[in-house]
Amino acid sequence: MKAGTRAKTRYLSRGGRRTMIILLTMLEALKDFLPNAGLKPEEKRNIQRGVTMIGNQLIRMGDTFEKSFWRKLLDEGENTGIQIVDMRNEEKAGSDGWKNYREDDIFDLADFALSGCENCKKNFAYCRKYSLLMALQVPPAQEETDGCPYEQEE
């Protein structure tokens, strides 16, 4: 290695990596947004100038990384989407009866509601429906029973 040069970086802290991916993702989102944004020409130029400056800085930073590491970051940036979270709902999560659930769990729950009980008489603790309902903290249909607390009495 030449005197005065430094080794290429192949690691970023979690925060640094997250910031790089956010910047890469934001640049792509802005490039998609600008053509049809309905902005005045000056507004469009100002945003494009910011995109160019951030892009150039990312390229300069990319030059300090090992090529394989930089390619990996670029790939992550291309395969990362932006999700908008309403912070008002986020604040409610866990308080006042509001909870956040995985979408797959909600679909499974709806499927179970439509299909009825599987009649797991042998050992309901291994039943998929029972496990999901317990994990989601759904109140049991029957408080005192020898069988599954979620089995509906007919």
Q: Which letter, b or e, does each residue of 125-149 get, where b requires 16 or more Cβ atoms within 10 Å of its Cβ?
A: eebebbebbeeeeeeeeeeeeeebb
Sketch the domain layout of the chain as residue ranges.
14-78, 100-154
Q: For 61-118, what is each residue's pLDDT tens digit?
A: 888 888 888 888 888 888 887 776 666 655 555 555 556 777 777 777 766 665 666 6
Residue 23: count other Cβ atoms within 10 Å of its Cβ. 16
Q: For 9-34, what is each residue's pLDDT tens digit?
A: 777 888 888 888 888 888 888 888 88
CA separation for the pair 47, 50 (Å, rounded): 5
